[in-house]
Structure 1
């Protein structure tokens, strides 16, 4: 690797991220009350104990056995405008650590990748990025999904597109029910209203792959560029999951329409010579290789 910036972030790495934006000024009590976790009578008991012992509202509520740690963490996520899911929620796959374990070392590494991309790629001109891997099983789809979540947690209007029209996975990770998606949009069978908002993350939307077509290369070649041009007026960050490069030429075509690609490789699996050839193939299409993310999950 010579000219590009290498983002070599193992998913068990550690990096501090302490920029927090407070949007919701509702009190802890009001949030717990609105969520149905406590009643008005409960709130009165909590306030009495809070005043008596000089405790925080949440600590007093836990002391009385009225709420759990998950309830408190959920309320804090609203107060600090930092959405995530608690262990009791199963809205999306547990494999998406950015949604369930925002303080883990894995997610700190994801934030490090996000920070590099914000500094070196995403701006008013560059809004789309392709994630490319050589073969299946290298963590590309998980990386795309987790990155989409951490971008949305930053307040960026984020769209994740599943452009793997051969063996799509994002609809499974996000537990989507829609049968329509990108392939249907490109074929003129549906419009962009098939994009699904993820309720738990207000700035995150998903465009699933949709119907598995008999002609994925032709669909992508003739319609993706126009589709992306329209989407760039609606979103700040567009991440695109692709089929493995060794399986088909789809990833190279998609990357050429985005201008930038992030390579995803797996520790002890991807060969350096193969990675170099993939990098050169992407550059031949006019796509800039922004770096490499090394995964071990």
Structure 2
């Protein structure tokens, strides 16, 4: 290290972005000196000067900021979590800002009233509601809430792939008394997020979800987590989702633009009202057909 470096680098106070870049190995001391010199000459911020010199990228800045503010996210190729979970990989994307706004609405309109659980259901598209539910689980966990994502679609087990998990035992096995809560899996790459997979394919999903065992499990999960998000099967073809919503008492509906029938939604609303299930909100997505 040169004398010049000794004179300059102490200006990188502990906790600021320059020191964070050094500590993370994204720049070395010689590069830090060049950045500081340009910063002094141009009046740029440290990160802006580093990018202008081509020493780091915008993603490097975002990575450091996420650590500084305890807001971790993943880098491409870093995890087995599917990259379609944009909230896990691109927290500064405008789509994620929309998810955070939705999270705020759910907190204010639902969870502030003492509720912990919510069902997320689509009238006619499993994939649309699955992706929304998984991304919402990520943004709730990023808030520091102990979050559980429950794959409650016992007719399909594709959601385990979103989190890079094997769908061994899960919800169906719990309801059948074949396992215990040890089947819940913590997502090590993400903050405060756990997943309960759908489990072994069952021939009788409606019967399993209507058992008293589901009510008991529902209470257990709420006692261990701050937020429980149930991703259900679509409402168009089966009653499964309504059994789940009757427990959560609240449902977030996902509808497809120019596809989901208005008559179907009107009928669904009547059924929910009859069962005292509150429609917390409705999310409009592009058609997946």
Please indicate the TM-score interval, normalised by the length of the shorter structure: 0.7 to 0.9
Give the aligned partner of residue 124 of structure 2: 135
Partner of 1:283: 273
Q: What is the CA deviation profile of residues 246-294 of structure 1, one whole-angstrom value per residue up to 9, with x for unaligned ones?
A: 2221111111111111111010110111011112222323322222111
SS at match of 2:111: coil
TM-score normalized by the length of structure 1: 0.80
User: Does the 8 A contact of 1:138 with 1:265 survive in 2?
Assistant: no
Partner of residue 256 from structure 2, selected from 252, 260, 266: 266
Name the structure 2 match of 1:235: 225
Q: 1:103 to 1:72 in 2, by over 3 A?
A: closer
Q: Distance in 2 between matches of 1:33 and 1:248?
A: 55
| Distance across 2 between alignment mates of 1:195 and 1:39 | 42
Summarize the alignment of residues 70-81 of structure 1 with structure 2, pairs less than 5 Å apart. Answer: 70-81=59-70
1:160 corresponds in structure 2 to 149
Does residue 244 of structure 1 match 2:227? no
Asked if the contact 1:253–1:285 (Cα under 8 Å) also holds between the matched residues in 2, the reply is: no
Residue 143 of structure 1 deviates from its aligned partner by: 1.1
Superposition deviation, residue 241 in structure 1: 0.5
CA distance in 2, matches of 1:229, 1:118: 20
Give SS of 1:123's match: helix
The SS at the match of 2:210 is helix
Contact 2:27-2:55 at 8 Å conserved across structures: yes
Distance 1:33 1:178, change over 3 A: farther
Aligned: 1:199 with 2:204 = no
Taking structure 2 as the reference length, the TM-score comes to 0.82
> Cα gap change, 1:279/1:69 in structure 2, threshold over 3 Å: closer, same or farther?
same
Q: Are the equivalent residues in 2 in contact too, given 1:262–1:290 (CA < 8 A)? A: yes
Residues 32 and 200 of structure 1: CA distance in aligned 2, closer, same or farther (over 3 Å): farther
Higher fraction of helix:
2
Query: Is the CA contact (8 Å cut-off) linking 2:126 and 2:234 kept in structure 1?
Result: no
Q: Secondary structure at the match of 1:147?
A: helix
SS of the equivalent of 2:115 reads: coil
C-alpha contact (below 8 Å) 1:282/1:288 kept by paired residues: yes
* Offset at residue 34 of structure 1 (A): 4.7
Higher Rg: 2
Point out which structure has higher relative CO (alpha carbons under 8 A, 6+ apart): 1
The CA distance in 2 between the partners of 1:43 and 1:91, in whole Å, is 33
CA RMSD in angstroms, aligned pairs only: 2.6
Rounded Cα–Cα distance in structure 2 between residues aligned with 1:34 and 1:227: 45
Q: Secondary structure at the residue paired with 2:72?
A: coil
Structure 1 residues without counterparts, runs of 5 or longer: 1-24
Q: CA deviation at 1:63?
A: 4.8
Q: Which of 140, 146, 149 pairs up with 1:151?
A: 140
